[in-house]
């Protein structure tokens, strides 16, 4: 079983995906973003007392943000492996599982949820995940702290490999399913209409976590160039490719990329491919209930 200190040290060592040069307040210099790369993942056994082992890497670290966003991690959970039941009393956390159904546990209750599902693990709730399928799960983990930079964990000693399943799930969960999205737009004065859904809104979290939105951009559409002065965003690419702009720097992004847009950063994304661009957008505020937005009237189609 890995102790919390050991896991934290491994996570810190694994966070080698952000170029040097710093990221604070507004991005400067070369674009800075997290890139999922299985070749850089570390193998960790018995995470929070879980079964088997998993591959892990850090995508974004809280030190690069002004808000209390603590981290975004990703990894691969092979069959018959998982993250054991544990509890945090100072952070809100969310688990995502793609590629196979996953057994999510929250406060001692376990439900089998389909691929593409996410479960909010509110501050003070025990939680974990187990892969009982014959496929590898792509796992993503987001945490926002009550107090910047501070976290905690207590393991329950249950690897979750022999839980009795209940249905329907006795806790809130969301699936990133195209059929649940609705047409909106133009988004931030972007180009065309996009599909959008907000499965997780503020009020669900004790921290300053505002929401996670699911956006699908058809070819030649965009979320227009805009700025937040009281919140930070992360754009995570679930499927497809596109072209993102942050502070007048434009580059290509692909599946597994996580792009931070810190306080004062102007940003937006355009789908320059011939297939849908499927993303989720994480928003964390400096102060609960405060957001602030300014659109620049640029649909990014000519960037």
User: Are 38 and 154 contained in the same domain?
Assistant: yes
Residues 41, 148 share a domain? yes
Domain that holds residue 41: 4-175
Q: What is the pTM of this model?
A: 0.90
Q: Is the pLDDT of residue 40 over 70?
A: yes
- The answer to whether residues 89 and 213 belong to one domain is no
pLDDT, position 9 = 47
Assess whether pLDDT exceeds 50 at residue 3.
no
Question: Where is average pLDDT lowest: 30-44, 192-206, 235-249?
Answer: 192-206
Residue 303 lies in a domain: no
Pair 47, 153 in one domain:
yes
From 152, 175, 198, the end of a domain falls on 175
197 and 110 belong to one structural domain: no
* Domain end residue (candidates: 134, 151, 175): 175
Calpha distance 8→24 (Å, rounded):
22
The reply to whether 246 falls in a domain is yes
Does 302 map to a domain? Answer: no
CA distances from 205 to 72, 159, 279 (A): 17, 26, 21
Q: How many Cβ atoms sit within 10 Å of the Cβ of residue 303? A: 17
Same domain, 140 and 266: no
162's CB contacts (< 8 A; 6+ apart) are none
pLDDT band at 107 (very low <50, low <70, confident <90, very high): very high
Residue 87 has pLDDT above 60, yes or no: yes
Q: What's the CA gap between 27 and 266, in Å, rounded?
A: 10
- Pick the more confident residue, 180 or 29: 180
Do 164 and 236 lie in a common domain?
no
**What pLDDT is attached to residue 58?**
94
pLDDT in the model for residue 15: 38
d(CA 133, CA 126): 23
> 170 with 182, same domain?
no
Task: Say whether 37 sits in a helix, a strand or coil.
Answer: coil
In a domain, 130, yes or no: yes
User: Which residue's entry shows tokens 């688990």?
Assistant: 95
Residue 211 has pLDDT above 60, yes or no: yes
Residue 93 in 3-state DSSP? strand
Highest mean pLDDT among 1-10, 30-39, 52-61: 52-61
Q: Are residue 110 and residue 9 in the same domain, yes or no? A: yes
Tokens of 81: 């492996």
Q: What count of other Cβ atoms lies within 10 Å of the Cβ of residue 30? A: 10
Q: What is the dihedral of CA 82, 86, 88, 91, to 10 degrees?
A: 20
Cα three-residue angle 84-87-14, rounded to 5 degrees: 65
Across the range 22-43, mean pLDDT stands at: 74
Backbone φ, ψ for residue 106 (5° rounding): -140, 120
Of 175, 200, 225, which residue constitutes the final position of a domain?
Answer: 175
More confident site: 213 or 4: 213
CA distance 179 to 112: 20
Give pairs for 285-288: CB < 8 Å, separation 24+: 285/67, 285/202, 285/208, 285/210, 285/230, 285/231, 286/66, 286/67, 286/208, 286/230, 286/231, 286/232, 287/208, 287/230, 288/202, 288/208
pLDDT at 21: 30
Are residues 146 and 261 located together in one domain of the fold? no
| Two tokens, residue 58 | 């850090």
Q: Tell me the pairing of strands 209-217 and 194-201.
A: antiparallel
Asked if the structure places residue 98 within a domain, the reply is yes
Residues 128 and 186 reside in one and the same domain: no
Examine residue 262 and state whether it is found in any structural domain, yes or no. Answer: yes
Residue 301 located in a structural domain: no
The C-alpha atoms of residue 173 and residue 191 are separated, in whole angstroms, by: 31
pLDDT in tens, 124-164: 999 999 999 999 999 999 999 999 999 999 999 999 999 99
Read off the tokens for 275: 């297939």
* Number of structural domains the chain divides into: 2
Q: For the domain that residue 280 is a member of, what is the CATH number?
A: 2.60.120.10
Q: Are 84 and 48 in contact (CB under 8 A)?
A: yes
Does 220 have pLDDT greater than 80?
A: yes
Q: What rounded mean pLDDT belongs to the chain?
A: 90
Q: With contact defined as beta carbons under 8 Å apart, do 223 and 195 qualify?
A: no
The pLDDT of residue 289 is: 73
34: how many CB neighbours lie within 10 A of its CB? Answer: 24
Kindly tell me if the per-residue pLDDT of 25 is higher than 70. no
Q: Mean pLDDT lowest for which of 9-23, 124-138, 224-238? A: 9-23
The pLDDT value given to residue 28: 58
- 74 vs 3 pLDDT, higher one: 74
Q: 61-70, 103-112, 282-291: lowest mean pLDDT where?
A: 282-291
Residue 14 maps to a domain:
yes
Q: Looking only at Cα atoms, what is the longest distance across the chain?
A: 54
Is 263 found in the same domain as 224?
yes
Question: DSSP state, 46?
Answer: S
Q: Report how far apart, in Å, the C-alpha atoms of 182 and of each of 178, 185, 299 are.
A: 9, 10, 20
pLDDT given at position 27? 56
């Amino acid at each position: 079983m890995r102790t919390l200190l050991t896991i934290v040290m491994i996570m810190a060592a694994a966070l080698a995906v952000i170029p040097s040069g710093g990221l604070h307040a507004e991005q400067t210099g070369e674009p800075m973003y997290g890139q999922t790369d299985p070749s850089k993942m570390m193998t960790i056994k018995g995470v929070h007392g879980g079964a088997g082992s998993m591959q892990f890497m850090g995508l974004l670290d809280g030190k690069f943000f002004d808000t209390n966003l603590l981290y975004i991690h990703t990894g691969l959970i092979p069959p018959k492996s998982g993250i054991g039941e544990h509890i945090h009393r100072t952070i809100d956390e969310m688990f995502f599982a793609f590629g196979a159904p996953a057994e999510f546990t929250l406060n001692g209750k376990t439900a089998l949820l389909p691929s593409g599902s996410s479960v909010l693990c509110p501050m003070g709730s025990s939680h974990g995940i187990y892969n009982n399928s014959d496929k590898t799960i792509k796992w993503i983990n987001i945490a926002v702290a009550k107090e910047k930079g501070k976290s905690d964990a207590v393991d329950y000693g249950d690897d979750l490999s022999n839980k009795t399943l209940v249905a329907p799930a006795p806790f809130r969960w969301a699936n990133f399913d195209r059929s649940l999205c609705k047409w909106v737009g133009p988004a931030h004065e972007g180009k065309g209409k996009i599909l959008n859904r907000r499965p997780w809104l503020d009020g669900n979290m004790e921290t300053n976590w505002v929401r996670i939105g699911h956006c699908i951009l058809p070819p030649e559409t965009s979320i227009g160039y805009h700025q937040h002065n009281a919140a930070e965003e992360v754009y995570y690419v679930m499927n497809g490719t596109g072209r993102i702009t942050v502070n007048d720097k434009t580059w290509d992004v692909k599946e597994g990329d996580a792009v931070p847009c810190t306080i004062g950063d102007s940003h937006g994304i355009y789908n320059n491919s011939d297939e849908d661009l499927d993303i989720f957008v994480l928003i964390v505020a400096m102060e609960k209930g405060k957001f602030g937005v300014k659109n620049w009237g640029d649909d990014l189609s000519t960037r």
